Structure 1
């Protein structure tokens, strides 16, 4: 649900994420030059960026959580999609939003940017004008959101380890490894507590992620972060066998898999209430168990995409799937 189509058991997934994070190096001061792996590229930094730009609310949230506002020339892709909490907007303060949706190369050059934190379908499009290859000759280094790498390379299913890895890599790039390490450990502790409670409430609940679309729904496959969030919350994404990231499927497939709960992603011009009403009023869809039993869980876009708000997402999903465990 990166905004690509709008202008465009303590589960295995959580265990994988925690183990991946455990392998991250002990926090220390960055020694430059430092080389960071970004998707299928190596990017070398001679020093910390001073004029960074982030695209999308979740990536911008990571930058702010790491205390990097003073290293930023601005951000892009938030207000155009009706995303961003009041808390994040307050934290951003007077930092300028340079483009309401995806920026152009000219936007980054005009801001004298030296770093672009984005992802594929999170500010960049495969074959588009704005890519690591087009920005490199302009002196703008790019770090790609790990989850989004599925669009340019073969990779394992999305995990919380992807989020931890991005935070750790940003810590190295900007020489704030201690902040990153503290943030990662705090997220791990909170998520483990939530997962333990949810797992103690019995068998995982089957869940469908409804991002958008009426003719064909836009949803999350195994390579999109909601699959890992749902698993951590004691559920199972009914599309977890789909070897894709955010993509479209047929309603017939969703109905056949009869999810017990539906996660609605709330952003853009169509509200979560309107999406729910569509499901309730469509006779081909309203006989699914999730609809009949009124099991809708609403997640803001900020929470449903990779970032620090994933802790809040897991809490919301876990309480929706296993309310008795959180009374």
Structure 2
């Protein structure tokens, strides 16, 4: 078996928030209005009991130096590797875990005044955890911009993925009175992206890249509005499903094989032996359609942590990692 090149150890998409001078804290009673999912969102005062869902969202708060505002976070089974590889591991360890499910009971147990999640990043009508329900608790719901629903649709994504990250950093910075820190992080991330892009393979040598999250039974991948789209393109590759007007979405094995990827980027997460990176590679190698693609035949697999591939502060470092890999395999 050809082993994947793994970069699951410490993707340092900068943890330097602690090195940036804190802004003056916004007065507790001062209302702040920001644009969230193209709608005005007014927060009545600086939140002090925040509940967040998912590792990428939690790391946004940590990168901004806001660990002390968290009343708790939820993740999913299999995200332990995210925490182990996180530049903010110490913050995870000192913050209350509310378990592996973003449920009404878990949220209510923390008595939040602000809840940061996104559609399919915690908010789901099927569970009853919606922004409207959060409001019924007297808390403010903030929606992850990567997961904003398109008008009149359940499909997600309204801006380019990195713009979504920068927008959320700026908004959370304003809401919590840490605008200077947010501005500094955005500038640093943009500089890292420019540096990676400058050394990425040229336009005529762009590798076709397939983002493989999982398959149950059809493959789950990244469309135009999920973070991997821009991680791949800024690194000098071409996302084979970048034409899908959605965020994270399902496709077919037939479509993936027909587009013949030259590199496969694997999301490293998932509970149990069937969901390891090695298991995902075996699945691709034994699949009757995927086994004949250039990427599988040449053994071109790169695995990155889940938190590096959903919207979050590890995205710029992920671009650097993917650009390095594409250069190493001649693309």
Please, what TM-score do these two structures have when normalized by structure 2?
Answer: 0.84
Which residues in structure 2 correspond to 1:148-297 (within 5 Å)?
148-150=147-149, 156=158, 158-200=160-202, 202-213=204-215, 215-269=217-271, 270-297=275-302
Aligned to 1:171, what secondary structure does the other structure show? helix
* Cα deviations by residue, 1:120-176 (Å, 9 ceiling, x for unpaired): 011111454111111112111011100101366665453211101100100001000
Structure 2 counterpart of 1:22: none
1:95 equivalenced with 2:95 (yes/no)? yes
Moved more, 55-64 or 158-167: 158-167
Do the aligned partners of residues 111 and 157 (structure 1) sit closer, same or farther apart at CA in structure 2, a change above 3 Å counting? closer
Moved more, 242-251 or 52-61: 242-251
Aligned to 2:34, what secondary structure does the other structure show? strand
1:94 CA displacement? 2.4
* Contact 2:145/2:168 (8 A) holds in 1: yes
1:80 CA displacement? 5.3
* Contact 1:157/1:224 (8 A) holds in 2: no
Distance 1:91 1:29 in 2: 20
Distance 2:329 2:107 in 1: 49
Point out where structure 1 has 5 or more consecutive residues left out of the alignment. Answer: 1-26
1:191 CA displacement? 1.1
Structure 2 counterpart of 1:142: 141
Distance 1:134 1:80 in 2: 27
Aligned to 2:149, what secondary structure does the other structure show? helix
User: Which residue of the other structure, out of 50, 54, 57, is the alignment partner of 1:56?
Assistant: 54
Moved more, 167-176 or 196-205: 196-205
Structure 2 counterpart of 1:36: 34
Structure 2 counterpart of 1:310: 315
Distance 1:150 1:206 in 2: 28
* Cα deviations by residue, 1:59-90 (Å, 9 ceiling, x for unpaired): 00010111101111111115554442324332
* Cα deviations by residue, 1:19-49 (Å, 9 ceiling, x for unpaired): xxxxxxxx99758321112214322122210
RMSD: 2.3
Do the aligned partners of residues 153 and 94 (structure 1) sit closer, same or farther apart at CA in structure 2, a change above 3 Å counting? farther
Q: How many residues align?
A: 299
1:201 CA displacement? 7.7
Do the aligned partners of residues 157 and 251 (structure 1) sit closer, same or farther apart at CA in structure 2, a change above 3 Å counting? farther
* Contact 1:40/1:153 (8 A) holds in 2: no
Aligned to 1:175, what secondary structure does the other structure show? coil
* Contact 2:201/2:326 (8 A) holds in 1: no
